[in-house]
Amino acid sequence: MTTDLRICPICEATCGLTLTIEDGRVTGARGDAEDVFSAGFICPKGASFAELDGDPHRLTGPLVRRDGQLVEVSWTEAFDAVAEGLGAVLAEHGGKSVGVYVGNPNAHTVAGALYGSMVIKALGTRSVFSASTLDQMPKQVALGHLLGNPFAFAVPDLDRTEHLVIIGANPLVSNGSLATAPDFPGKLKALRKRGGKLTVIDPARTRTAALADWHLAPRPGTDAALLFAVVHVLFDEDLVAEDLGGIAAHVRGVDEVRTLAADFPPEAVAAYCDIAADDIRTLAREIAAARSAAVYGRMGTTTVEFGTVGSWLIEVINVLTGNLDRPGGVLFPLSATAAKPRPPRPGRGFATGRWHSRVSGHPEVASELPAAALAEEIDTPGDGQLKALITIAGNPVLSAPDGERLTRALAGLGFMISIDPYLNATTRHADVILPPPPPSQSPHYDFVLNNLAVRNNARYSPPVLPLDGRPDETEILARIALLIFGVGVHADPALPDEQVIRGALTKEVADPDSPVAGRDVDELIAMLAIGPGYERRLDMMLRLGPYGDGFGADPAGLTLQRLLDAPHGVDLGPPRPRLPEVLRTPSGQLELAPLPLVADTLRLREALDRRADGLLLIGRRQLRSNNSWMHLPGGTNRCTLQIHPDDAAELGLTDVAVVKGPGGELLIPVEVTDGIRPGVVSIPHGWAEANVNRLNDGSVLDPLSSTSVLNGIPVEVSAVDPVPSG
Ligand SMILES: Nc1nc2c(c(=O)[nH]1)N[C@H]1C(S)=C(S)[C@@H](COP(=O)(O)OP(=O)(O)OC[C@H]3O[C@@H](n4cnc5c(=O)[nH]c(N)nc54)[C@H](O)[C@@H]3O)O[C@H]1N2
Ligand SMILES: Nc1nc2c(c(=O)[nH]1)N[C@H]1C(S)=C(S)[C@@H](COP(=O)(O)OP(=O)(O)OC[C@H]3O[C@@H](n4cnc5c(=O)[nH]c(N)nc54)[C@H](O)[C@@H]3O)O[C@H]1N2
Ligand code: SF4
Ligand SMILES: [Mo]
């Protein structure tokens, strides 16, 4: 029996695990107490790493469709099938006729971070869809307009804040999102222990809300109005921080925001949000009065009708109370593989709608089209119709609205490839399934999530076990890229990496602000680690990055070798203020009142008069599940309709209910609980037996971000008599 270290790839917390290895397989997992970032924390999912890794349902080899059936073939045959099927589509219709759907696990894998974009670029397709438009895209759009950079996430400083306001997030169960923090629960308890305050705004009394000092339960979908009222009070009661906490010189548009907020006094939104005006005033006063405060919003604030406006207002409050870019407020992490900060300079800014979807004309956002439009782009005939689809770690049939239509659309596709370890509702339509090896045989570095970390750090896990005669996911994607580039699917998979490396270094040496300005590219390439392409790229990024050795310029700086020598990771300290360096707006300023957002406030004002009478559906996450692909047995891990006792009584609900939504209906067991407010019901997503997204027809999107409204959907619920047994 031996042990080895591996960062957990399941959720955004990135906990370090100590794995037990027996007879060439992982048999156990516990928290790595010496991990510089997670210090031993582990949750039930991480503790099940061995079961996940050795899951007998995992595909061990590729499947190819022959005479309508998916059959097991060798890897050579599978890549030949890719070459034949995709090659034919490329030859006849070109790369633009191929759609790509990129799912959530891409944020957790080395392959997803480094190779997915390679495939997309090679195709030259504009039909890129991802889980982002079912998730955080509104936040990216808000940041894009505010800062000129849609990837500059401001993360709550959990370890130092004095007042944390959590809106539409349940980190006790999700373990945090867009705020990478192992042991989020422990950090919330520590906040309260040091005398800080936790406020939670959520229509459900979640585990997180139950821990809070104060829980406000608004009607779903109304947070943007509530937040505007908070902004109103900040101006009305003269609570805006002096000099905006030190960043006023970098901020434009405060007066415009003041003018807009005039229309949203608490008294005008109270009925719409179903929150007392006095409570809104108290909230504003408490955020302003705290020595430091951080307003943090997630799924409940993004996947709603006013997702982008709400995400914007969260940062507006952080700015006005002096909490943006200061310790204890919200800060911009600086990851070790990010570009080394350059002197502040104006950027090109941010715009959406550079192209539009063919069928419904949805604007492109961050180079993506809405996931909700995938089905219609496949099943609507005409010029530009998608002929082939590649799914990379995604299950849109269950994750996106109107899975029924997508199921039919996928069945009618010319050719489909899924890179996925499981046969599921989506991948079963593929012509070729290419399963990556389990996590134990895959490398891990958090290229994406370190940009969201509450403490800067760098940790690398090489594969713990050797590949059992199969390609890893980086090779699978590299081979597909090689095919599209016309080099052939069986060419050397290291070629694309070497091309990326040469391209990146050529740019760096020409940049006078680069740590390697003026140096010789070949000399730099010769200095890179010897190993797989992804390690060479990681080494390059680390060495060029903010903590890097600059290829020898700073011998104490980071290199891949330094990470290999520090298997529990390298701590890089708490995030530090980064304004104005993160700003990329054309003005070089933080634009507090960007035009698209100002324009969308009109829609919000009009909504205030609307008052839906029926039930509104929201979602929830479960500690022992992960989206559609991991449902550990036991505990409360069931797919049920949660409903308040008063509503259940009025509807005469007992065991099973029929839920009808704009897109369809489903039968589901009833769970009566006062943990949810009256007028609201909740169903978790990702369950094939009762796919909540059948209820959603996908027609309602937040217009600024093309993101699906998944929370606050009007539904009708009625009783079904249980089928008599016997
Ligand atoms: N109603 C409703 N719908 C929702 C949500 C909601 O709250 N309510 N949440 C939305 C959110 S936030 C998200 S992120 C999306 C998720 O949407 P998706 O990303 O489409 O779905 P997942 O369920 O995460 O599926 C991930 C897929 O990746 C595969 N997979 C797992 N590990 C790996 C790996 O290492 N490599 C590869 N190649 N594949 C892997 C799994 O088998 C699965 O097929 O769902 C969204 N849908
Ligand atoms: N255990 C587990 N962990 C996960 C996942 C999982 O499936 N299971 N998925 C991962 C993924 S992909 C993501 S994106 C993150 C998501 O992480 P979170 O956003 O923290 O998780 P959710 O449970 O979706 O929390 C959304 C909360 O918003 C509330 N809500 C719904 N509508 C509204 C509204 O209109 N206003 C307000 N204020 N609140 C509202 C819901 O009641 C819910 O408590 O979790 C990640 N972690
Ligand atoms: S919290 Fe997330 S990263 Fe940590 S052990 Fe659990 S699933 Fe893994
Ligand atoms: Mo997500």
For 7-20, what is each residue's pLDDT tens digit? 999 999 999 999 99
**Ligand of minimum distance to the alpha carbon of 11:** 3
Residue 47 has pLDDT above 80, yes or no: yes
Which of the two residues, 720 and 156, has the higher pLDDT score? 156
- Using an 8 Å Cβ cutoff, are 418 and 426 in contact? yes
pLDDT at 78 over 90: yes
Confidence of residue 632 (pLDDT cuts 50, 70, 90): confident
Whether 269 is in the pocket of ligand 1, judged by its Cβ within 6 Å, is no
pLDDT interval class at 654 (50, 70, 90): confident
Q: How confident is the model at residue 633 (pLDDT cuts 50, 70, 90)?
A: confident
Pocket (CB within 6 angstroms of ligand 2) = 11, 104, 135, 167-171, 173-175, 177, 201-204, 206, 218, 220-221, 223, 298-300, 304, 618-623, 625-627, 711-712
Pairing of strands 251-252, 590-591: parallel
Rounded Cα gap, residues 577 and 81, in angstroms: 51
Only one residue has tokens 């349940």, namely 170
Say how many Å lie between the CA of residue 389 and the centre of ligand 1: 17
Which of 102, 299, 700 has the most ligand 2 atoms within 8 A of CB, as the residue to mutate?
299
Q: For the ranges 50-54, 359-363, 451-455, 609-613, which has the lowest average pLDDT? A: 609-613
Phi, psi of 623 (to 5 degrees): -55, -35
pLDDT of residue 689: 86
Residue with the nearest Cα to atom 4 of ligand 3?
15
pLDDT, tens digit (0-9, with 9 covering 90-100), for 423-449: 999 999 999 999 999 999 999 999 999
Is 8's C-beta closer than 6 angstroms to any atom of ligand 3? yes
Print burial letters for 471-510: b (CB count within 10 Å at least 16), e (below 16).
Answer: bbbbbbbbbbbbbbeeeebeeebeebbeebbeebbeebbe
Q: Given a cut of 90, is residue 303 above it in pLDDT? A: yes
For the cut 80, the answer to whether the pLDDT of residue 724 exceeds it is no
What is the average per-residue pLDDT within 299-307?
98
User: Roughly what angle, to the nearest 10 degrees, separates helices 223-236 and 595-607?
Assistant: 110
pLDDT digit string, tens, across residues 88-141: 999 999 999 999 999 999 999 999 999 999 999 999 999 999 999 999 999 999
Q: How confident is the model at residue 610 (pLDDT cuts 50, 70, 90)?
A: confident
Mutate to test the pocket of ligand 2, among 42, 106, 202, 452 (most ligand atoms within 8 A of CB): 202
The residue to mutate among 629, 695, 708, having the most atoms of ligand 1 within 8 angstroms of its beta carbon, is 629
Residues 204/677, Cβ–Cβ less than 8 Å: yes
Check if the beta carbon of residue 170 is closer than 8 Å to that of residue 350: no
Residue type, 98: V
**Long-range contacts (CB closer than 8 Å, 24 or more residues apart) made by 546-550:** 546/334, 546/335, 546/336, 546/338, 546/339, 546/340, 546/341, 547/336, 547/458, 547/572, 548/336, 548/340, 548/515, 550/515, 550/516
Is 232 buried (19+), middle (13-18) or exposed (0-12) by CB count in 10 A? buried
**Cβ-based neighbour number of residue 262 at 10 Å:** 13
Q: Per the confidence metrics, is the pTM higher than 0.95?
A: yes
pLDDT-derived band at 634, boundaries 50, 70, 90: confident
Instruction: Confirm or reject: Cβ of 474 under 6 Å from ligand 1.
Output: no
The ligand whose atoms approach the alpha carbon of 9 most closely is: 3
The type of residue at 128 is V
Q: What is the DSSP secondary structure assignment for residue 548, as one 8-state letter?
A: B
How many angstroms separate the alpha carbon of residue 34 from the centre of ligand 3? Answer: 16
The answer to whether the CB of 297 is under 6 A from ligand 1 is no
Atom of ligand 2 nearest to the CA of 201: 38
pLDDT tops 80 at residue 172 = yes
Q: Tokens representing 608? A: 């205030």
Contact 684, 618 (CB under 8 A): no
170 within ligand 1 shell (Cβ under 6 A)? no
pLDDT of res. 721 = 66
Residue nearest ligand 3's atom 8 by CA: 46
Mean pLDDT on 378-407: 97
Token pair recorded at residue 59 = 């595909």
Query: Looking at the DSSP assignment, which residues form a beta bridge with residue 592?
Result: none
The residue to which tokens 């509702």 are assigned: 425
Per the structure block, which two tokens stand in for 687?
């369950």
Start-to-end C-alpha separation, the chain: 51
**For 710-715, what is the mean pLDDT?**
97
Residue whose CA lies nearest to ligand 1 atom number 12? 135
Q: Is 403 in the pocket of ligand 1 (CB under 6 A)?
A: no
- What percent of the residues of the chain are helix, what percent strand, and what percent coil, each to the nearest 5? 35, 20, 45
For ligand 1, what atom is nearest to the CA of residue 135?
A: 12
Ligand 3 within 6 A of CB of 13: yes
Predicted local distance difference test score (pLDDT) of residue 726:
44
29 ligand 3 Cβ < 6 A = no
How far, CA to CA in Å, does 674 sit from each of 173, 208, 460, 642, 647? 18, 15, 44, 9, 10
- pLDDT tens profile 184-199: 999 999 999 999 999 9
Is residue 174 within 6 Å of ligand 3 at its C-beta? no
Would you say how long the chain is, in residues?
Answer: 726
Going by their DSSP bridges, the two strands 63-66 and 293-297 should be labelled as unpaired
707 pairs with which residues across the strands?
Answer: 702
Residue with tokens 């599921």: 424
Over residues 607-618, mean pLDDT: 90
Burial annotation 391-415 (CB, 10 A radius, 16+ → b, else e):
bbbbbbbbbbbbbebbbebbeebbb
